[in-house]
Copies of this chain bind each other. A is one copy, B any other.
Amino acid sequence: MVRSIRVVQVGLGAMGGGIAEVMARRDGLEVVGAVDPSPDYCGKDLSEVLQLDNNVGQKVQADMEEVLSQADADICIICTFSFLHEVRPQIIAALQHGCDVITIAEEMAYPQAAIQGDGEEIHRLALAEKRTVLGTGINPGFVLDTLLIALTAACTDIERIKARRVNDLSPFGPTVMRTQGVGATPEEFADGLQDGSIVGHVGFPQSMYLVASALGWELDEVKEERKPIIAEQRRTGSNIVVEPGMVAGCNHTARGLVDGEEVLVLEHPQQVEPGAAGVDTGDYVDIEGTPGISMAIKPEIPGGIGTIATAVNMIAPVLSASPGLKTMIDLPLPRAVLGDVRETVKQLQVAHDCTS
């Protein structure tokens, strides 16, 4: 059996830490380095930080370059920031040390749609280094793009697609509450949108253009709208109470137009205790076409563990892919890799073998 796949985890927050924990117990994977400058983690044993039973024998370090130069890693999982220009230096460092890259940075799910797009630069460097880069996650990366796209394979014609991801912010912390405007007055919400302190969902343009690219739609325009969800009843989160009349969350929508026609509508209302307003959480895709397809996942696929899972499960497809910056529509059908990851890499390499 070939040596274990050597992984470096960059960023040990809720997502990065969860990914490292899952990787540590996957057959065929070895966590050979962990990077996080935070004093909570830096210098500590990774096993201690992740509360692992088995000791992976790695200390968390602050300096990514230093870790990469010692780790002889095959792939680097980057879970640090949301935006392309923020993760760009880390992706470049990983590529220059000969690593493939998976990142959950929302903008990297389809960098071609990024405002400060460095997708082309990263693609060229990945080609030069003969390495592969992928952005993924639950949303963007799966529910409102990859899964939706897979469903369209059963359609001959499509007039319009509407998809909705309805989740519950109750368990989340102060940062999420603030960026979604939870607890604000309607006036504060409006001001927050103005000054950019309230952002709603990050990733709609990525999902929109990923779907359009997969289906062969030329979008003229993507319209985004963020509206406050005003509580009519008192709503209670883990660390916040929203009184009636205050903002319980942000209903963020995006509309994609082709020749002036609305063909793709994505909706992501994020709020505290939606049940109080009789709202069922869930992931919904409605395809108006031939045939019409109406899909519901209730409750919604949880965002945290879903992002952790997609990142870990895409390791084998990325390792077996051709070089360059890839998206979820470039790679083979995603799947849970429950066995030895090296076996799936081998299986996919055989399936893609261009030399045969």
In the assembly, how many copies of this chain are there? 2
A293 to B336, CA, bound (A): 13
Partner of A295, one of B289, B296, B309, B336: B296
What number of A residues sit within 8 Å (CB to CB) of B? 69
CB distance from A45 to the nearest CB of B (A): 22
A337 to B323, CA, bound (A): 25
Assess the B216–A343 pair: CB atoms within 8 A. yes
Q: Which residue of B lies closest to A126 (CB)?
A: B356
A314 to B156, CA, bound (A): 11
Partner of A22, one of B22, B156, B214: B156
CB distance from A227 to the nearest CB of B (A): 28
With A156-B309, A329-B332, A333-B146 as given contacts, are A339 and B301 in contact (CB-CB < 8 Å)?
Answer: no
CB distance from A168 to the nearest CB of B (A): 14
- Pick the interface stretch among A66-74, A90-98, A235-243, A344-352: A344-352
Chain B residues with CB under 8 A of A326:
351
A338 to B344, CA, bound (A): 31
Chain B residues with CB under 8 A of A347:
213
Chain B residues with CB under 8 A of A344:
216
With A290-B305, A291-B302, A294-B297 as given contacts, are A158 and B356 in contact (CB-CB < 8 Å)?
Answer: no
Chain B residues with CB under 8 A of A158:
336, 338
Per-position binary interface string of chain A over residues 135-151, scored 1 when its CB falls under 8 Å from any chain B CB and 0 otherwise: 00010001100110111
Q: Judge whether A335 is part of the interface by a CB distance below 8 angstroms.
A: yes
Q: Which residue of B lies closest to A344 (CB)?
A: B216
For window 302-321 of chain A, which residues contact chain B by CB distance below 8 Å?
A: 302, 305-306, 308-310, 312-314
11 CB contacts below 8 A, A to B, read A153-B334, A216-B339, A216-B343, A218-B339, A293-B297, A294-B298, A295-B297, A324-B356, A329-B333, A330-B351, A330-B352
